[in-house]
Amino acid sequence: MSAGGPARGERVPKPWGHETIWARTDRYVGKILHVRKGESLSYQYHRVKDETIRILAGAVDLEVAAPEGERRTVRLGPGDGWHLPPGTRHRLTAVDDTDILEVSTPELDDVVRLEDRYGRT
């Protein structure tokens, strides 16, 4: 079991909605992100954390860029997925109320926020 962080089954409030941890080991963490329509996560990257997302319901615009690359936006809907290796700058913005399955390595505090509409650093 990974040290620190939310426990399995815990609902964690976020300014954009909430997340629920459904699995947690020393090798990976599984979460469901519930993002309200019109809300977005930070434009961010991770130094170590490797994550894969899959849209369960709703739709998001995924803004993504390589470390020194141009930003591009891709619309993802139910069944669509994306792999975000460390260093990938990205942001999710919900087009509809959206549920996202996220499986990542366990470094949950490895967030470098570049832009955040909620004033988080």
92 or 9: which leads in pLDDT: 92
- Is the pLDDT at 66 greater than 70? The verdict is no
| Structure-block tokens of residue 28 | 């990976």
Average pLDDT over residues 18-36: 95
In this prediction, residue 2 has a pLDDT band, given cuts at 50, 70 and 90, of: very low
CA-CA distance, 98 to 120, in Å (whole number)?
22
Find where tokens 């995924």 sit: 62
| Cβ–Cβ < 8 Å for 17, 38 | no
CA-CA distance, 112 to 38, in Å (whole number)?
22
**In the chain, domain spans:** 11-106
CA-CA distance, 88 to 50, in Å (whole number)?
9
Question: How confident is the model at residue 7, as a pLDDT?
Answer: 72
Average pLDDT over residues 69-85: 95
Q: Considering the domain 11-106 in this protein, what is its CATH number? A: 2.60.120.10
Q: For the full predicted model, state whether its pTM sits above 0.85.
A: yes
